[in-house]
Structure 1
Amino acid sequence: MSAAGHPPEPRTADGPSPPGAVPQVFPYQGSKRALAGRILSLFPDGGVPRLVEPFAGSAAVSVAARHRGLASAAHISDVNEPLMALWRLVIEDPRRLIDEYTRLWNEQLADPRAYFLRTRAEFNATKRPELLLYLLCRCVKAAVRYSRRTGEFNQGADHRRLGARPGNMADRIRRTSVTMRGSAVTTGGYEDALVGAEPEALVYLDPPYQGTSGAPDHRYLRGLRRDSFAEVLQRAVDNKVSFVVSYDMVTEDNTYGLALPGELGLTHRHVVAGTSSQATLVGRRRVTVESLYISPALLARLGGAGALDGRLGLEPAAPGPGP
Structure 2
Amino acid sequence: MGAGKRVRFAVLPAILALGDQVLLSGIHSRKPHAVPLPDGTQLSTSTSLNAKHFEDIDIVIVAVRTNAIWGVLNALNDIPRKKDISIVMDTPPLRLSDFVKMRTFSGFKSVIVGEDWFKLSPILLIKDLITRGAIGGALHQIKLDRMSYRYHGLVTLRSIAGTRWFRSIKATMAEDGKTSYSVVTGNGISCRAILPRDYTRGTLYVAGNRGWISNHVPDGDAGDGHLIGFPLEESGWYQPISLDGNMLPSDAVDQNVTSLPLEYLEDNTAINRLKIRGYARLVEDLMTDNVEYDIIDGLYDYFATAAVERLKRFCDLPVRNSQQSVLRIVLSLHQYERQTPECYL
Q: TM-score, normalised by structure 1?
A: 0.32
Q: TM-score, normalised by structure 2?
A: 0.30
